[in-house]
């Protein structure tokens, strides 16, 4: 079987807001982090965060070296369409490197093609500093079977 084609969808940057640690739950330790801002820039889609109901419910692995991402957000495109994005994935908590599998939902006719797309995101997390909030930036790709 031939390898799939990866078609660029652009770059997505999520700026993180407040976070809370939930220790000892039945699923393990969680970091619940709000997403304060999002920008998706690409040839086919340009969008920003439209709803404050955006967060990552990250579950840390038992040795705390990796995490399982669980992210949901709603964006508005530069031509006023609404796109809901949700993705799961893994992040190496030491290096900040992440891989995600975004799915899209929209009722906007011009972006209906996104409803059929399975994407992947290759990301890099940047931890917060005194000067800047934490953020993660993904290169997004549409996965097309060969």
Q: What is the CATH number of the domain that holds 131?
A: 2.40.160.20
Dump pLDDT digits (tens) for 87-118.
Answer: 999 999 999 999 999 999 999 999 999 999 99
CA 123 to chain centre: 9
Task: Provide the greatest CA pair distance for the chain.
Answer: 49
Q: Which domain holds residue 56?
A: 5-144
Q: How many CA atoms lie within 13 A of 68 on its CB side?
A: 8
pTM, 2 dp: 0.93
Dump pLDDT digits (tens) for 3-40.
Answer: 999 999 999 999 999 999 999 888 889 999 999 999 99
Contact between 68 and 61 under an 8 Å Cβ cutoff? The reply is: yes
Q: Provide the number of structural domains found in the chain.
A: 1
- Over 90: is that where the pLDDT of 65 sits? yes
Kindly state the average pLDDT of the residues 80-87: 98
Closest CA to 13 of 142, 141, 139: 139
State the pLDDT at residue 103.
Answer: 98
């Amino acid at each position: 079987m031939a390898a799939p084609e990866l078609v660029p969808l652009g770059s997505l940057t999520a700026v993180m807001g407040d976070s809370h640690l939930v220790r000892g739950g039945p699923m393990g330790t969680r970091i619940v982090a709000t997403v304060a801002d999002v920008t998706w820039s690409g040839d086919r889609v340009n969008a920003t965060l439209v709803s404050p109901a955006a967060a990552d419910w990250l579950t840390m692995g038992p040795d705390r070296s990796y995490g399982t991402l669980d992210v949901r957000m709603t964006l508005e495109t530069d031509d006023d369409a609404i796109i809901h994005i949700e993705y799961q994935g893994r992040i190496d908590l030491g290096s900040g490197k992440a891989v995600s599998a975004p799915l899209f939902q929209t009722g906007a006719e011009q972006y209906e093609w996104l409803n059929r797309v399975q994407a992947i995101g290759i990301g890099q997390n940047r931890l917060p500093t005194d000067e800047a909030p934490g953020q993660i930036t993904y290169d997004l790709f549409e996965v097309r079977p060969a």
